Each structure stands twice: as structure tokens, then as C-alpha cells.
Structure 1
Amino acid sequence: MRRDAKQFLTRLFQAAIDAARPALCVPPHLPAPPKGRTIVIGAGKAAASMAAAVEAHWPGPLKGLVVTRYGHGAPTTRIEVVEAAHPVPDEAGMRAATRILDLVKGLTADDLVICLVSGGGSALLAAPAPGLTLVDKQALNRALLRSGADITEMNCVRKHLSAIKGGRLARAIAPARLVTLIISDVPGDDPAVIASGPTVPDSTTLADARMVLAKYGIAVPPHVQSVLEDPASETPKAGEPCFAGTEVRVISRPQDALLAAADVARAAGVTPVLLGDAIEGESREVGRVMAGIARSCVAHSHPAPGPCVLLSGGETSVTVRGQGRGGRNAEFLLALAVALNGDPRVAALAGDTDGIDGSEDNAGAFVGPESLGRAAALGVHAKALLADNDGYTFFAALDDLVMTGPTLTNVNDFRAILVEPD
């Protein structure tokens, strides 16, 4: 290739992450201080860094508690940060959720609650509905994660088995004023989907949740099924009084990250082509489709001639059938590499902007024209590893994993495919 593709694509990824830093996007959206108390609560992979940004710019007294993923904490002095497990919840997350509900009890209309929400909050706010246990929630989460269900479907089920998600936190906060600041990590930026919408009305129903489980053949114990059939388990809907004093502000989106990367590409003389920030589907199928678009750029200069970079975001899914290691982005890239079969004009990088691809320690990976050949020389077979959902092993063997560590933000997956001219 004509340039150092790995270095160039890494610069684009870093620009995408930087555009979603809470220190940049939180301060402009802070509300005015109230007559009464200010309570800060929240959950998500960016919750701690969002809390630090609130502290740094808040003019008066405040207190609060936020919960984030292990390793994603940030230094704060007035807002307590609790770390818990993701994507399968644990006791720490359940205790934090209970404490958040206790913290917002007894508020008045003169008080203000600032709720900081980002991706991952659904697993981190683990407060089981009455009649359920943490073990029930853990088992269901694991089944959903392996099923191939998309994030909207997973959160539909989670909301209806929770004491805090799907608008129930807003019920607990009323009649205080509630301002929710959201860093979006979901296709479409729907506040009701991000972290399972703890402070917004829920348009999904118990029937929808049962349909998701049926669609993916997920069997649940009788006591869980009874909760899903009990009308009292329905989530709060639009028009309920608890939402009257609420405001929702989506302060950073996947599209913002793509636009930041596009600016860096343009400055380097590479044409950015934005394919969308809400792409969903099976990771390996998306990889094959993206390979076809890249080949079209090479053969027909469409949708753009090289040098160009195809940028996309969103959240794909993986139906786990093998025993390997690897997240959505590793699976996407391995399928892309197999489909491109060493095309000398194409390289790609994909990563999760939170710094963690699924449950592994990498953000994502890089693939270049030589990747398949290098792997074969090492006795590493791409197609076999793809069949075993083992993208991590493939890219680890090539030393092409992208390791950022926790970035303390999260606007979901970032994909960049560089196409050079002949």
C-alpha cells in the first residue's frame, strides 16, 4: 500500500474516541443549579469520566454515586464511583443500583437529579424485579449475549425484569427535576435503548419481551416466565406523571465520532465515505458486505475512487457457535479478510470506542493485505478460526490486536476500511 495503513487507520480511531470524551461533551449541557439539592447518579462505561466532568464544572454543592465497569473508574471527590461487572452483572452492580434508588428517595420539586447514562449501563444497573434474583439476571444475560439478539431486543427483555430500567428510575426520582445526559452507543441514538432507558418512557411491552425469547429459543424458568406474564411488571409509558419534570440530552453520538475521523482522513488527502452510524447484523455478514463495497471502490470507483476510507459505526452481533475468543470487531475483521483474500489495495481497522471488544482485553484489531499470508505461514488458518468465533487468536498471532485500555467513553463500534488506488 502507498501509506502506512495501520498508522493512518489508528489515527482515525483515536480521533473518533477523542470526539466522545466526556470532558469535551458534558460541560456544555449541564443545567442551571436548583434551589434545593443536586444529586448526581449514573451508570455506564463512561459514567466515571462523565462524573469527573460534572465535578470540574459544577458551581455549587453536589453529591452522588455512579457505577461503571471494572477498570473504567476516574478520580472524583464528591461523586462516589463504584465499579462492577459487564456484560454479565454481579453483586457489586446490584448493590450500587440499590444504593442509587435509596439516594433519590424523598426528593422534592426544588431538587435536581443529573443522571449520567452511557453504554453498558444496562448490565451495571442490576436491580432484579421483585421475585427474581441476581442469578436469574446473570443466566438470562449470558443466554442473550450468545443468541445473536441485537441490543434493542436484549434491552427489551432486560427492562421487563428490572426494578430500575425502562423508566422505573424516573418513577423513583419524581417529583424532583431530572436531567439525563446521554452518550449514545446504540444505532439510532434512542434514549429508551441506551442502558435500557432507566429515566425515559418505554414503548416496548411484556409481550415484546416474550417474543424476543421465543425468537431466539431462550427458555427461562417458570418464576421468570411468570414475571413476564404479570401485567404489574409492565414498564412506565409516555404520559405518566413521573416524566413531567424530565429532560433528556443526547450529548455525544456515534455519528460525531465518524465525522471526527472523516476530518482527519480529509486532511490526509483521503476521501471519507460515511456508510452509516447505525449498521447492525451478524458481524461476519457485515464483514462480507463491507468487503464487497471495498471491491467496488477498486473496480468501479464507486462509491468513491481510491484513496478513500469507508467509515461506519453501529453495533453488530455474534451468534456464538464455536469455543474461541473474540468480540464483534475481531469477528467482523476476520470475515472481511477472508472475503478480500489478500487484496493488496485494502486494509481495515475496527474497534469498540470503549476500548474493550466484547469481553476481551483489546479494543479491536487491524487487518492488511498480508494478514492471511502471514497467518498461514504461522500455521494459523483464518477460515477455521472464523468458524470457531476465534478472531482474537488470529489477530493475536499477528500482533495486530488494537490495545487502548479503557477509554472512559463509549459511542460503540468504529470501522474504517482504507482503499488505495492501483
Structure 2
Amino acid sequence: VRRHLSEIKDGRLLAAARSGHAVTLTISDVAGAPPSAIASGPTMPEGSSPADALGVLRDHDLLDAVPEAVVAHLEAAQPAAIGDIDHHSEVVADGHLAASAAVRRLGELDIPARAVTEDLRGFAIASATSMCESLSGTVAVLTGETTMNVTGDGRGGRNQSAALAGAIALDGGVPAVFAALATDGIDGPTDAAGAIVTHRTAEIIRSGGLDPRRSLGDDDAYPALAAADALVITGPSGTNVSDLWMGWRQDG
């Protein structure tokens, strides 16, 4: 809907150029999506129309919930009229490039690593638990974005919850490491980008008087991870190419 409420989204910025040559350089944080989905496609129409957006509001019984000006705009608006423009687009950075860079750097350190081609998705806690249960002696690197079903009132973010879930999954096992990081340096409403945990992190949290499982259930991963000195605090990176997860477990 939002792409049809903007003067620049859904190709309208490109339409304003009228003619000539245009190049779009894109930094993508949308895992597995077409370029038109990034920032609602200022230079790349999706193919939908304002009438389609109006239909979405109608199908979800939201026509009476939005301002009258929104409905009036969608009723009158037309798709972007793009003229004779020679347009080229290029994704210059995304999560897969970040994952490849991580694998390359690990290789330079003589650490075997592989980039997992499947995008990271699903619920953060379940995805992290599943990943940590399947780790091997080759570092697995994934990129994408998970979701959270927040029911508690604690402090944290999806990567911190994923890291804490990983710490629980690895607890007391063979040597292992799991990292869950936001590439923009900001995970949830906190100053942490995420965390790096090991097979000993959950025990360290317990020794500090906290229950990692209770903290996870309360969506309160930040204090638990802080108690284990597991948080990664980089400050804002200035860009966002989704999340980056990495994990390793000693074979045998």
C-alpha cells in the first residue's frame, strides 16, 4: 500500500526523469526479494496499481481505519508513467555479498567456512536452535532476517534472542560458537548488534544468578548476554544488508 502513497516510490522517481539515462545502485536488506521491493522501488515499479492497494485495504476491512485522504488519493492516483528512459539497476551490496566476504575472511585465517545459499527466515528462536543443533567443523554463514513473537517486556532484539537460544542449544556440549548479528549494528531497541555465544555461555549466565531459559521466555536476552560478556556493540554501521549468522562446532 505505502508504495502508492508516495510521490517517489513504485517507479515515480524514475518517471520524474522523463527521458535520458538512469542508473540505480541498490543496497538491499530484503532477502530473496526482487529489486522493486527494496525501499518500495523508487525507480522500479512492482507492477501493482493504486487500485490494487485500495483493494488490499478493502479486503482487510481497513477502509474506515485509514484517513479519508489516503482513500481519496488511491482512488485518484495512477501508476507511474515512465517515459523513454535507458535504465540500468545494480545491487551493489546485500546479505549474500556480506556472507561471501565473511567466508573469504575466515579462509584468510585458515578457518574452513561455507556460505549457506538458503536465506535465513522464520522465527528467530526456532531458527537459531535448529542451526546450532546441526553445526559442524566448517563454519556455516547465513544471511537473511527472522521474526519474533514478542510476549515479554524485557530488553533485546531478534539477534540477541537467537544468540541466547543458541547458547541454550549448545549448553554443556562440545566446543562450539554461534554468532547472530545485525549488519546495521542495531538489534532491536538496544545498543547491541547482537551477540556471540559458546557452549559455556549458558553456564556463565547461570553463575551470574540468571536463568537463560526464563530470560529467553521473557524476551529479556540483553541482560543475560551482558552478564556473560557476550554482546557485540559496534555502534551503527551506516548500512543494512540483513542479519548475519555464523556457527561452528567441533567435530567428533
TM-score, structure 1 normalization: 0.53
Say yes or no: does 1:356 pair with 2:186.
yes
Q: Following TM superposition, by how much is the alpha carbon of 1:401 offset from its aligned partner in structure 2, in angstroms?
A: 1.0
Aligned partner of 1:252 in structure 2 is: 93
SS at match of 1:331: helix
SS at match of 2:7: coil
2:43 pairs, out of 199, 221, 226, with 199
Residues of 2 paired with 1:234 and 1:357: CA distance? 38
Are the equivalent residues in 2 in contact too, given 1:342–1:371 (CA < 8 A)?
A: no
Q: Following TM superposition, by how much is the alpha carbon of 1:404 offset from its aligned partner in structure 2, in angstroms?
A: 1.2
Residues of 2 paired with 1:293 and 1:402: CA distance? 24
1:418 pairs, out of 240, 245, 248, with 248
Q: Following TM superposition, by how much is the alpha carbon of 1:351 offset from its aligned partner in structure 2, in angstroms?
A: 0.9
Residues of 2 paired with 1:228 and 1:315: CA distance? 35
Residues of 2 paired with 1:234 and 1:335: CA distance? 47
- Specify whether residues 229 and 386 from structure 1 end up closer, same or farther in structure 2 by C-alpha distance, changes over 3 A only: farther
- Specify whether residues 346 and 168 from structure 1 end up closer, same or farther in structure 2 by C-alpha distance, changes over 3 A only: same
1:108-187 aligned at under 5 Å gives the runs 157-175=1-19, 177-187=21-31
- Specify whether residues 284 and 224 from structure 1 end up closer, same or farther in structure 2 by C-alpha distance, changes over 3 A only: farther
Residues of 2 paired with 1:270 and 1:345: CA distance? 15
SS at match of 1:187: coil
Say yes or no: does 1:332 pair with 2:162.
yes
Gaps of 5+ in 1: 1-156, 298-305
- Specify whether residues 167 and 419 from structure 1 end up closer, same or farther in structure 2 by C-alpha distance, changes over 3 A only: same
Say yes or no: does 1:221 pair with 2:51.
no
AA partner of residue 193 (structure 1): A
Are the equivalent residues in 2 in contact too, given 1:365–1:402 (CA < 8 A)?
A: yes
Residues of 2 paired with 1:334 and 1:168: CA distance? 43
% identity of equivalent residues: 33
- Specify whether residues 320 and 242 from structure 1 end up closer, same or farther in structure 2 by C-alpha distance, changes over 3 A only: farther
AA partner of residue 293 (structure 1): S
Gaps of 5+ in 2: none
Kindly provide the CA deviation profile for residues 159-186 of structure 1, in whole angstroms up to 9, marking residues without a partner as x. Answer: 2443332222223333353221111222
TM-score, structure 2 normalization: 0.85
Q: Following TM superposition, by how much is the alpha carbon of 1:207 offset from its aligned partner in structure 2, in angstroms?
A: 6.2
Aligned partner of 1:407 in structure 2 is: 237
Greater relative CO (CA pairs within 8 A, separation 6+): 2
SS at match of 2:224: helix
SS at match of 1:334: helix
Aligned partner of 2:147 in structure 1 is: 317
Residues of 1 paired with 2:63 and 2:188: CA distance? 24
Q: Following TM superposition, by how much is the alpha carbon of 1:234 offset from its aligned partner in structure 2, in angstroms?
A: 6.2
- Specify whether residues 194 and 386 from structure 1 end up closer, same or farther in structure 2 by C-alpha distance, changes over 3 A only: same
Residues of 2 paired with 1:293 and 1:325: CA distance? 28
Kindly provide the CA deviation profile for residues 77-115 of structure 1, in whole angstroms up to 9, marking residues without a partner as x. Answer: xxxxxxxxxxxxxxxxxxxxxxxxxxxxxxxxxxxxxxx
AA partner of residue 197 (structure 2): V
Q: Which structure dedicates a bigger proportion of its chain to helix?
A: 1
Are the equivalent residues in 2 in contact too, given 1:159–1:235 (CA < 8 A)?
A: no
Q: Following TM superposition, by how much is the alpha carbon of 1:202 offset from its aligned partner in structure 2, in angstroms?
A: 1.5
Q: Following TM superposition, by how much is the alpha carbon of 1:191 offset from its aligned partner in structure 2, in angstroms?
A: 1.4
AA partner of residue 182 (structure 1): T
- Specify whether residues 310 and 243 from structure 1 end up closer, same or farther in structure 2 by C-alpha distance, changes over 3 A only: farther
Aligned partner of 1:303 in structure 2 is: none
1:34-73 aligned at under 5 Å gives the runs none
Residues of 2 paired with 1:332 and 1:260: CA distance? 22
AA partner of residue 173 (structure 1): A
* Number of residue pairs the alignment of both structures matches: 249
Q: Following TM superposition, by how much is the alpha carbon of 1:242 offset from its aligned partner in structure 2, in angstroms?
A: 4.2
AA partner of residue 152 (structure 2): G
Say yes or no: does 1:366 pair with 2:196.
yes
